[in-house]
Amino acid sequence: MTIGILGGTGPAGKALAARLSSLGMEVRLGSRQAERATEVAATLKDRWPDRRLTLTGVVNEEACDSDLVVIATPWDGAATTAARLSGRLAGKVVISMANALAKVGDELQALVPPRGSVTVAVQQAAPEALVAGAFHHVPARGLGDLDEPLDADVLVCSDHERATTATIELVDAIPGLRGVDAGTLSAAAAIEAFTAVLIGINLKHRVHSSIRLTGFDR
State the residues that interact with ligand NAP by CB under 6 A: 7, 9-13, 31-33, 36, 72-75, 77, 81, 97-99, 135-136, 138-140
The smaller minimum CB distance to ligand NAP, of residues 49 and 87, is found at 87
DSSP string for the chain: -EEEEETTTSHHHHHHHHHHHHTT-EEEEEESSHHHHHHHHHHHHHH-GGG---EEEEEHHHHTSSSEEEE-S-HHHHHHHHHHTHHHHTTSEEEE----EEEETTEEEE---TTSSHHHHHHHHSTTSEEEE--TT--HHHHH-TTSPP-EEEEEEES-HHHHHHHHHHHHTSTTEEEEE--SGGGHHHHHHHHHHHHHHHHHHT-------SS---
**Crossing angle for the helix pair 118-125 and 188-205, to the nearest 10 degrees:** 140
Kindly state the smallest distance separating residue 17's Cβ from ligand NAP, in Å: 11
Kindly state the smallest distance separating residue 217's Cβ from ligand NAP, in Å: 26
The smaller minimum CB distance to ligand NAP, of residues 77 and 183, is found at 77
Kindly state the smallest distance separating residue 148's Cβ from ligand NAP, in Å: 13
Kindly state the smallest distance separating residue 199's Cβ from ligand NAP, in Å: 9
Kindly state the smallest distance separating residue 215's Cβ from ligand NAP, in Å: 25
The smaller minimum CB distance to ligand NAP, of residues 205 and 218, is found at 205
The smaller minimum CB distance to ligand NAP, of residues 72 and 166, is found at 72
The smaller minimum CB distance to ligand NAP, of residues 52 and 212, is found at 212
The smaller minimum CB distance to ligand NAP, of residues 15 and 53, is found at 15
Residue burial 139-177, b: 16+ Cβ < 10 Å; e: rest: bbebbbebeeebebbbbbbbbbeebbbbbbebbeebeeb
Kindly state the smallest distance separating residue 142's Cβ from ligand NAP, in Å: 9
